[in-house]
Homo-oligomer: A and B are copies of this chain.
Amino acid sequence: MYDRIKGFRDFYPGEMAARREAIDTLEDTARSYGFREIGTPALERAELWTDKSGDDIVEELYAFEDQGGRHVALTPELTPTVARMVVAKQQALSKPIKWFSTRPFWRYEQVQQGRQREFYQTNVDIFGSSEPEADAEILAWAADALTGLGLSGEHFEFRISHRDILGGVLEAYADDVDTEAAIRAVDKSDKIETGEYHGLLVDAGLSPGDAEEFADLIATGDLEAVEATADTERVTEAVENLEAVLAAAEDYGAREYCTISLETARGLDYYTGVVFECFDSAGEVSRSIFGGGRYDELLESFGGQPTPAVGVAPGHATLSLLCQRAGVWPEESVATDYYVLSVGDTRSVAAEIARELRDDGHVVEADVAGRSFGAQLGYADSINAETTVIVGERDLENDEITVKDMASGDEVQVPVDAFPGDHARPTIVEFQD
């Protein structure tokens, strides 16, 4: 007997039905905003990551040499792929380009609850607009997707910041500070001790006093204080941009979910402007549920024209944990409208009824295993059939069939010609007491 690989999941029908409902909610919301679905490869040249991504992602790559000697990698994220796709057709594509897709990604990392080596994300991106409305539309999609799942402001918040606020404030403290190292320190500040955090800031080039002052300042989230302390054009512009995004988010109905949180930095180095992370308001899911932000320089680094971009990518594993804890995760079970039970030489009539019910849009199973009445009824129950249509030889002699409501057990005889007719739904059939 073979086992599956560690960090890879099998999804059986009940769990898959719940996941599909969640994926449909995210995707239908994206479609309603005019985001367009794309399809992308599972393999890319490994150089897409080894050339410019952070060390973490490179260490976790599933990379290998293919039979043609290419150095390839299972994609650990979508952003480089969509960047490549935009660059490949940048003349032909009308902007803004609004794309989404749901698919698996792969990273060789420590397996834990909500983190597998194969994980699913819905990526939603806008290319070609540097306006705050684009950032706000990404936030609005995310908010609508989460409320569409049944979540509310009680359950989640978007912690939002701007990369240039941190960068600009750091710059104001010291010219030669290693901004990326300091931002990585801020990004980790939630998970480490204060002393270690301050130490990392000092390592990045701040004096011990500045490190503490800087840490305290950004912890307040007070945009006015930050702007006044830095007193540079860069920080002022970043604060104005962040405020403009929040104003647009207000118009788009997403402002109420946003909290200014200047410690939100996002680990990936390619973010340039507004960044945000979705957190569990109740704090039960301690790490960020998902994150996103603006990455205006990435496409140019892929050989394209300068193209502003902003996006987000909710992961389905953490999202399902959040939904489960909030009590809004869809039921993990299969649903069946009709089971057509055939006994004796009645297959052709049963098949005709099943076909008509399917044509009416119902989920209909019928016997394909030659089983007894009792075995079929047990199976109908196991697939949560709402109604069982019993097609028996004796009933058929009277041109009748029996329609059984599976919840109550009530049965009613119906002329075979009258079923399903125009009224396929079990509620239409009047059950006897």
Contacts and interface: CB of A to CB of B under 8 A. Distances in A.
Nearest to A14: B36
Interface in A345-376: 347-348, 351-352, 355, 358, 361-365, 367-370
A99 B8 contact: no
Contacts of A334: 36
A47 interface: yes
Contact of A38 (B16, B128, B358, B362): B16
A99 B13 contact: yes
Nearest to A133: B368
B131 A370 contact: yes
A33 B366 CA distance: 8
The main secondary structure of chain A at its interface with chain B is mixed
State the number of copies, please: 2
A306 interface: no
B347 A42 contact: no
* Residue in A13, A34, A351 whose Cβ sees the most chain B Cβ within 10 Å: A34
Contacts of A361: 32
Contact of A16 (B39, B126, B363): B39
Nearest to A116: B41
Nearest to A126: B368
Nearest to A10: B85
Nearest to A32: B358
Contacts of A285: none
Interface string A1-33: 111111011111100110110000000000111
A11 to B, nearest CB: 3
Contact of A40 (B10, B38, B68, B355): B10
A88 B10 contact: yes
A133 B367 contact: yes
A131 B94 contact: no
A84 B4 CA distance: 8
Given A38-B13, A369-B133, A5 B106 contact: no
Nearest to A62: B66
A37 interface: yes
A306 to B, nearest CB: 14
A170 to B, nearest CB: 30
A321 interface: no
B37 A20 contact: yes
* Residue in A48, A66, A74, A367 whose Cβ sees the most chain B Cβ within 10 Å: A66
Nearest to A72: B5
A150 interface: no
A79 to B, nearest CB: 13
20 contacts: A1-B88, A1-B304, A4-B44, A9-B41, A10-B39, A12-B93, A17-B36, A32-B358, A33-B358, A41-B118, A42-B104, A43-B62, A43-B74, A95-B369, A96-B379, A129-B370, A134-B369, A136-B368, A144-B358, A253-B351
